[in-house]
Structure 1
């Protein structure tokens, strides 16, 4: 089955759908999301190193999970699918969550926080990203001891504090995906609400 992404205008109004690779070849603006898993007791975030097999940004460090909502998927279905595909985890969130890019930062349920959204674009050889990226924070009480990642999606994971991430970005910004710093900035602004 081809993966149909949701095409939007700069105000996040849906204007159609397109197949995933075609969307990235043409650089069409589409919805996406970046999820950060946050361990409240250790004040650490789970980062992943993208597999070299990924169609772009392979070997770059990024947030815990990222993907696109597919046509006719709810936010619950989209988040669950992506976290399962990449990290082999299930999220315990309300099935009825809803969110719009214009919403203020807010808890959507007791574990999932919407930090905001932004638009960015990046070129990668023959492909490009042009995304309206929703940023979510999933709050857990303690860090997962074992995560059985999908090696075709994720090659490595690390739990890091805000300070450790900021220092790393300052020293080696090219280690990260092109969207990471913008998403991370929204997360930092939200920390007082977590």
Structure 2
């Protein structure tokens, strides 16, 4: 790819059904991803299954993906100020890779079988794919909450991560992953009757907004606090999100999002923050 010019809602946990397993297997067989080289240049297409299966314990082929980070202003419980929080999702127990772990808002792939998702200019294909998947996974209407012009490409990561110990060892992630950021202008949960998000239980078990202080406590490895809004540890997170957190890239995404949210009042800050991002760079992460 060329350089691109309630705090908490939860679905009830339930056993994996044959229908759910069939849905995940159907996606594996019938969705086709873009194979890429180490510089993110497309070299072919392959089924999602081929892109994630560890045959003979080898790495699956490198393929294109995206990770979306959706922020919104939230009232700080420790004060009167309003800060941005990040929408997280817990992956469904029926997912073949990293079931039950927490990750950023939405992670998936542009597909060769979906019109327009092969467009590389200005990351259009990836941004369109993020609209399609946020509707599919979280039931969030992209026309209202995630218009294309509000989805911003910042950088890319390359990582390999075999499945978690508790999951099927046949599967792994080996992705060249575009990091996309969007900022909602208002808190969508402010209306108690809000139904702006309707999670697909085949994809998502729960959602939660987290603050920067929550992230800081994870980096410090603070012990779980029953008085906190969460009781996570680093092991609760997908390996790519954990690496973004521990390398500081997640905080840089947050810095950009906060500068963007205050664009009208402090354009110079946003300009400086935006210039820190090299859109041509590919960060190589070591996931464990």
TM-score, normalised on structure 1? 0.84
Counterpart check, 1:175 vs 2:229: no
Structure 1's unaligned 5+ residue stretches are: 95-108
Structure 2's unaligned 5+ residue stretches are: 1-28, 55-59, 74-81, 118-124, 164-168, 190-194, 222-232, 261-288
**Residues 37-65 of structure 1, C-alpha deviations (whole Å, 9 max, x = no match):** 10145310100111101111111000011
Q: What residue in structure 2 maps to residue 93 of structure 1?
A: 147
Counterpart check, 1:113 vs 2:142: no
**Residues 75-126 of structure 1, C-alpha deviations (whole Å, 9 max, x = no match):** 34311111011100122323xxxxxxxxxxxxxx3x2222211100011201
* Paired residues of 2:127 and 2:151 also in contact (CA < 8 A): no
Which of 204, 213, 216 is the equivalent residue of 1:166? Answer: 216
Q: Which has the larger displacement, 181-190 or 61-70?
A: 181-190
Q: Which has the larger displacement, 161-170 or 45-54?
A: 161-170
Which of 251, 265, 282 is the equivalent residue of 1:188? Answer: 251
Q: What residue in structure 1 maps to residue 226 of structure 2?
A: none
Change (3 A) 1:170 1:182: same
Distance of 1:161 and 1:17 partners within structure 2 = 38
Shift of 1:134: 0.5
Q: What residue in structure 2 maps to residue 123 of structure 1?
A: 162
Distance of 1:121 and 1:61 partners within structure 2 = 18
Q: What residue in structure 1 maps to residue 205 of structure 2?
A: 155
* Paired residues of 1:9 and 1:15 also in contact (CA < 8 A): yes
* Paired residues of 2:109 and 2:126 also in contact (CA < 8 A): no
How many residues are aligned here? 179
Which of 109, 114, 122 is the equivalent residue of 1:68? Answer: 109
**Residues 2-51 of structure 1, C-alpha deviations (whole Å, 9 max, x = no match):** 11100001100101000001111141100111101101453101001111
CA-based RMSD: 1.8
Shift of 1:169: 4.8
Distance of 2:199 and 2:239 partners within structure 1 = 22
* Paired residues of 2:89 and 2:103 also in contact (CA < 8 A): yes
Q: What residue in structure 2 maps to residue 29 of structure 1?
A: 62
Q: What residue in structure 1 maps to residue 186 of structure 2?
A: 142
Distance of 1:175 and 1:76 partners within structure 2 = 27
Relative to its length, the structure with more strand (as a share) is 1
Change (3 A) 1:170 1:49: farther
Counterpart check, 1:77 vs 2:140: no
Please state whether the residue corresponding to 1:80 is helix, strand or coil. Answer: helix
Distance of 2:135 and 2:244 partners within structure 1 = 21
Please state whether the residue corresponding to 1:179 is helix, strand or coil. Answer: helix
